[in-house]
Amino acid sequence: MPGIATRSPGGVLPSRGACGRARYPVRCCGARRALHVGREDSLGHDGPKGLLQALDGRNLVLVGLPGAGKSSVGRRLAAQLAIPFVDADSEIEKAAGMSISDIFATHGEAAFREGETRVISRILQDGPLVLATGGGAFMSADTRRAIAAHGIAIWLDAATDILVARISKRTHRPMFHNVDARAKLKELRAVRDPVFAEAPIRVVSSSGPQERVVGAILRALRQYSLAAEPTPQQAASQ
């Protein structure tokens, strides 16, 4: 789309390993680390530093339906980890110099999607950071590949009733203009959930304090990193 600039060319980014699962240097204190999973201190004994080390500079990329909490929970997650937070929708609006509603109205959805893929590809190169994607971003195979190469996709999922309640308080998403929010969400869910399910981590974005969802993400990340195979170097040092 004219007007949506990227600092780097779009397309698939150089891979650092298929989904990266087996390449995180994670087993720094071996199985003992598993004891920390599920405790109140979801960051574990060595706090954000240890988790970030385990993630090896990868971005944490929130995906999920509109209203799942990608932006609001993502901002809190980044604050806890003391890494930058970037919202892809806001970056697209900044790059285009207009709101998403205006992009849809002026250029159409296909042009928005092209711009979205390019902008996300560019942001992923600036990690480690927490990236909140737009609700439809993960549907792009190019974007999924770029996320797998540079980060970990975390599917924030929520019950339809919860999403409807959250969405009906907002007016800034063109997809929900003049339509029945529940029907639209069901339609989106049918198409998108099987694709969101490709994300290696799924966390339920329940109602209640957003900090609880952040805690659930941190525990899931720790579990995920614990499940990874140690690199040969780590195995040697254990």
In DSSP notation, the chain reads: -TT---SS--SPPPPSSSSSGGG----TTGGGGGGGTTSS-TT-TTHHHHHHHHHTTPEEEEE-STTSSHHHHHHHHHHHHT--EEEHHHHHHHHHTS-HHHHHHHH-HHHHHHHHHHHHHHHGGG-S-EEEPPTTGGG-HHHHHHHHHHEEEEEEE--HHHHHHHHTT----GGGTTS-HHHHHHHHHHHHHHHHTTSSEEEE--SS-HHHHHHHHHHHHHHHHHHSPPPHHHHHH-
Annotated binding-site members for ATP: 67-72, 173
Which neighbouring-strand residues pair with 59?
151
Interface with ligand SKM in residues 164-183 (CB under 6 A): 173-175
Q: Of 50, 134, 151, 215, which lies in the binding site for ligand ATP, with binding defined by CB under 6 A?
A: 134
Annotated binding-site members for Mg(2+): 71
Binding flag, residue 143, ligand ATP (CB under 6 A): no
Binding flag, residue 125, ligand ATP (CB under 6 A): no
Interface with ligand SKM in residues 60-99 (CB under 6 A): 66, 89
Binding flag, residue 71, Mg ion (CB under 5 A): yes
Half-sphere exposure of 161 (CA within 13 A, CB side): 2
- Residue 130 interface partner, choices ligand ATP, Mg ion, ligand SKM, none, CB cut-off 5-8 Å depending on type: none
Of the two residues 27 and 70, which places its CB atom closer to Mg ion in the complex?
70
Annotated binding-site members: 67-72, 89, 113, 135, 173, 192
Binding flag, residue 89, ligand ATP (CB under 6 A): yes
Binding flag, residue 115, ligand SKM (CB under 6 A): no
Which part of the chain contacts ligand ATP (CB under 6 A), choosing from 17-25, 139-147, 185-193, 201-209?
A: 201-209
Of the two residues 67 and 230, which places its CB atom closer to ligand ATP in the complex?
67
Binding flag, residue 135, ligand SKM (CB under 6 A): yes
Q: Of 53, 71, 231, 234, which lies in the binding site for ligand ATP, with binding defined by CB under 6 A?
A: 71
Residues in contact with ligand ATP by CB under 6 A are: 64, 66-73, 89, 132, 134-135, 166, 173, 205, 207-208, 210, 213
Residues in contact with ligand SKM by CB under 6 A are: 66, 89, 100, 134-136, 173-175
Residues in contact with Mg ion by CB under 5 A are: 70-71
